């Protein structure tokens, strides 16, 4: 009976990663909102910020909240916030309700990403943690991949893309109820942390290096999603709708890479896997400075997506294992680094304007990859 309960708890927690993937729907949703309300490109550009901004603002406070109410309860709070946000545009559909929905989605997703990963450590122990975290990222990636298809289903079958929101609300409700009725043993927290104590962990060189690693890997991830179609437009003359397949190729290979990583990391050294992938990434990103042609760009973009796919969970698990006594605080710090996804694209835009081509963006991503290379060789893992 105990094993069944443990399996039920594991599946309930892993299903939460599917809800975590909902934040990536902001990409396709931005297009629909821009068209529906005739927004300018500048204003539409702020829609993703409504999601990513909260990672900077709320990650550490969420870690502190976890110490007070527990990891499972914090996850449940995030899901309730997500359900409320997803119902707003369905109740009243206007620009304000849509922007509020994205804000609630970002708030809920921030809280979920901070609390769900530590909760997984309560149902998975030892060497299986890195593999399980990677498996969670696979589920998140599948959710992200399904988002545009769910939006298309809502538009073509239900008559309006906004039905995407109640569909997401329903899935989140299922996840909430499943977790409520699953028993998860949590270690008691000795005392609640403060903001100062949490950020004080950055004095630990290992934690600091890994925190910066999260910033750079998320910056690389979001940057590549942004860069892929632009390269195809600039170098191959493809129209915007066709060039969008560059992002699809990147995302598909990232999903495959995460799935393979979950298997490999269950048996082999995470650090060696990290180093092999990042070295291949360096060669791939350098080649982007020179390659021409649609198919070569697809191949290199896909290769980068594949090699980057497992780095986030590797870095995250390394941070948790370096200070297991501070898992909640570490989670808050690491998820704060997701804000790197809001920093890289503006820097890429500036660099592109500076040099007059997308090679400026490639250079920014190369800087991110080089730091990750340093991180893979410079971090000393505590056994």
pLDDT in tens, the chain (383 residues): 344 447 778 889 999 999 998 887 766 676 677 778 887 655 765 677 778 778 888 888 888 888 888 889 999 999 999 999 999 988 888 888 888 998 999 999 999 988 898 888 888 766 666 677 777 878 887 887 777 678 778 888 888 878 888 999 999 999 999 999 888 877 766 555 667 777 888 888 889 999 999 999 988 987 887 788 888 888 888 876 577 677 778 878 888 988 888 788 878 888 889 999 999 999 999 999 999 889 999 999 999 999 998 898 889 888 888 887 777 778 778 888 888 877 787 788 788 888 888 899 899 999 999 999 999 888 776 55
Q: What is the pLDDT of residue 105?
A: 92
**pTM of the complete model:** 0.74
DSSP character string of 118-150:
HHHTTT--TTHHHHHHHHHHHHHHHHHHHHHHH
Quick one: which of 374, 383, 131 has its CA closest to 268?
131
Distance CA(15)–CA(139), nearest Å, equals 8
Q: What is the pLDDT of residue 373?
A: 94
Q: What is the pLDDT of residue 31?
A: 64
Q: What is the pLDDT of residue 44?
A: 64
Distance CA(114)–CA(156), nearest Å, equals 35
As to burial, measured by CB atoms within 10 angstroms (0-12 exposed, 13-18 middle, 19+ buried), residue 360 is middle
What stretch(es) of the chain map to CATH 1.20.1250.20? 1-184, 193-383
Show the tokens assigned to 317. Answer: 């698990």
Residue with tokens 């269950």: 266
Q: What is the pLDDT of residue 366?
A: 96
Chain center to CA of 216: 12
Distance CA(149)–CA(263), nearest Å, equals 27
Neighbours of 187 (CB within 10 A): 12
Quick one: which of 128, 146, 134, 143 has its CA closest to 175?
143
Quick one: which of 333, 339, 331, 334 has its CA closest to 116?
331
* Architecture per CATH, 1-184: Up-down Bundle (1.20)
Distance CA(117)–CA(318), nearest Å, equals 13
3-state secondary structure of 66: helix
3-state secondary structure of 218: helix
Cβ pair 147, 155 in contact under 8 A: no
Q: What is the pLDDT of residue 4?
A: 45
Quick one: which of 13, 55, 21, 22 has its CA closest to 258?
21
Provide the CATH topology of domain 193-383: Growth Hormone; Chain: A; (1.20.1250)
CA quadruple 23, 24, 25, 28: dihedral, nearest 10: 140
């Amino acid at each position: 009976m105990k094993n069944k309960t443990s399996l039920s708890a594991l599946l309930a927690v892993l299903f939460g990663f599917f809800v975590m993937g909902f934040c990536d729907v902001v990409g396709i949703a931005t297009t629909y909102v821009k068209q529906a309300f005739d927004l300018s490109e500048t204003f539409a550009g702020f829609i993703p910020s409504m999601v990513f901004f909260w990672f900077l603002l709320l990650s550490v406070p969420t870690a502190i909240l976890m110490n007070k109410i527990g990891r499972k309860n914090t996850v449940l709070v995030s899901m309730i916030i997500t359900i409320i946000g997803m119902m707003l545009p369905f109740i009243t559909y206007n620009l304000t309700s849509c922007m509020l929905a994205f804000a609630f989605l970002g708030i809920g997703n921030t809280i979920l990403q901070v609390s769900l990963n530590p909760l997984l450590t309560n149902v998975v122990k030892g060497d299986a943690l890195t593999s399980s975290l990677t498996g969670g990222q696979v589920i998140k990636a599948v959710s992200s991949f399904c988002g545009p298809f769910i939006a298309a289903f809502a538009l073509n079958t239900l008559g309006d893309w906004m039905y995407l929101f109640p569909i997401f609300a329903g899935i989140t409700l299922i996840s909430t109820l499943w977790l409520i009725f699953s028993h998860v043993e949590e270690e008691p927290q000795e005392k609640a942390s403060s903001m100062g104590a949490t950020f004080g962990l950055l004095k630990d060189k290992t934690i600091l290096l890994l925190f910066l690693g999260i910033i750079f890997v998320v910056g690389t991830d979001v940057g590549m999603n942004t860069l892929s179609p632009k390269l195809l437009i600039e170098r191959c003359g493809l129209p915007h709708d066709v060039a969008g397949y560059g992002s699809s190729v990147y995302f598909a290979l990232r999903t495959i890479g995460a799935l393979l990583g979950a298997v490999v990391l269950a048996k082999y050294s995470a650090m060696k896997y990290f180093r092999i992938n990042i070295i291949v990434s360096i060669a791939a990103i350098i080649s982007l400075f020179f390659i021409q042609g649609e198919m070569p760009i697809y191949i290199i973009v896909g290769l980068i997506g594949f090699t980057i796919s497992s780095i986030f969970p590797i870095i995250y698990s390394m941070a948790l294992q370096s200070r297991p006594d501070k898992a909640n605080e570490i989670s808050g710090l690491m998820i704060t680094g997701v804000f790197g996804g809001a920093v890289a694209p503006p820097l890429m835009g500036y660099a592109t304007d500076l040099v007059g081509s997308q090679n400026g963006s490639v250079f920014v991503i190369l800087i991110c990859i080089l730091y990750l290379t340093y991180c893979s060789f410079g971090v000393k893992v505590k056994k």
